[in-house]
Amino acid sequence: MSRLIIVSNRTPGKGPAAGGLAVALRKTLAERDGFWFGWSGKLVDAPEAEARFEEIDGLTVAQIDLTRNDHHAYYAGFSNSILWPSFHLRLDLATIEGHWYEGYRRVNAQFAKALRPLLRKDDVIWVHDYHLIPLASELRHLGLRNRMGFYLHIPFPTTDALYAIPHHNELMRDLSRYDIVGMQAQRDVAAFTEFSDHQSPSSLSGPPLKSVNFSTTEVAAFPIGSDPEAFARLSVTPAATKMVKRMERAMGDQKLILGVDRLDYSKGLPQRVEAYEKLLANNAQFRRNVHLLQVAPPSRDTIKEYQETSDTLDAMCGHVMGRFAEPDWQPLTYVKRAYGQPSLAGLYRLARVGLVTPLRDGMNLVAHEYVASQNPEDPGVLVLSRFAGAAEIFEEALQVNPFDTDETAEALRLALEMPLDERKARWQSLMAAARRHNIDNWATSFLGRLSPEAAQEEGGAARDILYLASVA
């Protein structure tokens, strides 16, 4: 079997990770020959051209350093202040600085130059996420003919949001240099198709831009998942039970509503707290009987919009406390830190409601983990945003429009009052879906399409955009 080379912005570190990518891919690479390539996390004045190899928790990892200026332009700048907000349809939160694009391309070229000498002829290369859209172009420019796949973990934008991104046409041409482009949901494939079928890329200067030819790139939905069996086991381990006991001592008979997210404006946290406020305002019977626990470790906190989201959330939580708290009862707890998976699994299992209401999300693995951790005899209820990719998988969740806080408040009421029979029936369908769309099936189906054998089967014929479900 050919080696697998995974490339992502950061190589995985030790300890609990608050990002979905590391959790998802560690297992895949542990089962195959190959290595993981990416940024080391170090900023230096003059990075070495060659990558350093290291073993981290049993994984072979090759890393390079970056300069502070390049990293800022590539990561906080182009990736997270332009691509992330635009792909999540938050153009109002995008900051556009022209020179960031040069840093973004420079880092992609630096990745390619350091990776190229490490590659063998039949290696398969799997590139992850929006930070590295140009990597295939840069590697092809250095003469690489290997199979290359790209997986987009975040949603694909609508065409007009795409046109707001500087250099969008070059980025789309970069995507066309991959053999496979994987997306989270059919929604994303449809948005991509809308763009590729009706391209009229804009440019104020220079000659008219040529349409991008995607005829040799297969674009398909490969919805990511979790390891549901592992979470089910984890949720009854002593470490998880310790967290459950600790919470039960603090909460008594109150029902727990749980949110677990990176602190990010895409996750809809202020709207979520507002919905909870409406639940308490409209349903006095729940006061003293429910508790919202929101776990949200800070992320990307050098970016202004993230600090503002954090401030807004602080203010909203304070407001709800001020309005409803009593000397001997608090309506909510807000914890700004990451927890290890066993503690999370314990919290998921204890929660009567898993409240997962992003305004827009590629998939949302918290929804998968919540479902997997439930007690089959007394499962909780998933309240899920329609705008998470997970909504295509979890039809039996209580799906809400997260912008409509009245609707979310009403879904919370239904969830808290739902009879055991209905909770069980819904959970059984949800768990079956989490099993079908597990992380192994995701990786196997993507890598199956990316393998050299799959390329040969196609016989070199021009390919069209395909619509594939990742698993039957």
d(Cα 465, Cα 450) in Å, to the nearest integer?
Answer: 15
Nearest-5° Cα angle at 218, 109 to 172:
45
376 Cβ contact partners less than 8 Å away, ≥ 6 residues apart = 424, 427, 428, 431
Minimum separation from the CB atom of position 201 to ligand ADQ (A)? 26
Catalytic residue at 437?
no
Residue 454's SS3 state is: helix
Cα–Cα distance for residue pair 134/105, rounded to 1 Å: 7
Check if the beta carbon of residue 385 is closer than 8 Å to that of residue 400: yes
Around 460, how many Cα atoms within 13 Å sit in the side-chain half-sphere? Answer: 0
Of the candidates 368, 398, 369, 378, the residue with the CA atom closest to the CA atom of residue 386 = 398
145: nearest Cα among 454, 461, 452: 452
Among residues 21, 115, 185, 293, the one that binds ligand ADQ under rule CB under 6 A: 21
Scanning 11-19, 95-103, 277-285, 326-334 for contacts with ligand ADQ by CB under 6 A, the matching segment is 11-19
Nearer to ligand ADQ, 137 or 385 (CB): 385
Closest approach, Cβ 208 to ligand ADQ, in A, equals 35
Q: Tell me if 154 contacts ligand ADQ by CB under 6 A.
A: yes
- Position among 5, 24, 29, 412 found at the interface with ligand ADQ (CB under 6 A): 24
Tell me: does residue 23 bind ligand ADQ (CB under 6 A). yes
Site residues (CB under 6 A) for ligand ADQ, limited to 228-287: 260-262
Distance CA 377, CA 428 (A): 10
The catalytic residue among 71, 153, 291, 368 is 153
Residues 284 to 303 in contact with ligand ADQ, rule: CB under 6 A:
295, 297
Kindly list the distances between the CA atom of residue 60 and the CA atoms of 4, 35, 50, 57, 332, in Å, as whole numbers in the listed order.
Answer: 11, 5, 16, 9, 42
Binding residues for ligand ADQ, rule CB under 6 A, total 25
When binding is defined by CB under 6 A, the residue of 131, 147, 153, 300 that contacts ligand ADQ is 153
- Mind giving me the DSSP string for 291-309? EEEEE--B-STTSHHHHHH
Interface with ligand ADQ includes 152 (CB under 6 A)?
A: no
CB of 468 to ligand ADQ, least distance (A): 17
Angle between helices 365-372 and 341-350 (to 10 degrees): 70
Which amino acid, one-letter code, is at 189?
Answer: V
Contacts of ligand ADQ in 165-224 (CB under 6 A)? 224
C-beta of 65 vs 261, nearer to ligand ADQ: 261
Candidates 71, 129, 361, 437; catalytic one: 361
Nearer to ligand ADQ, 189 or 365 (CB): 365
Looking at the Cβ atoms of 135 and 338, the one nearer to ligand ADQ is: 338
Stretch that binds ligand ADQ, among 52-60, 163-171, 191-199, 357-365 (CB under 6 A): 357-365
**φ, ψ of residue 66 in degrees (nearest 5):** -130, 160
- Please say which residue, 388 or 416, places its beta carbon nearer to ligand ADQ: 388
- Active-site residue flag, 153: yes
Task: List residues near ligand ADQ by CB under 6 A.
Answer: 16, 18-21, 23-24, 153-154, 224, 260-262, 295, 297, 338-339, 344, 361-366, 369
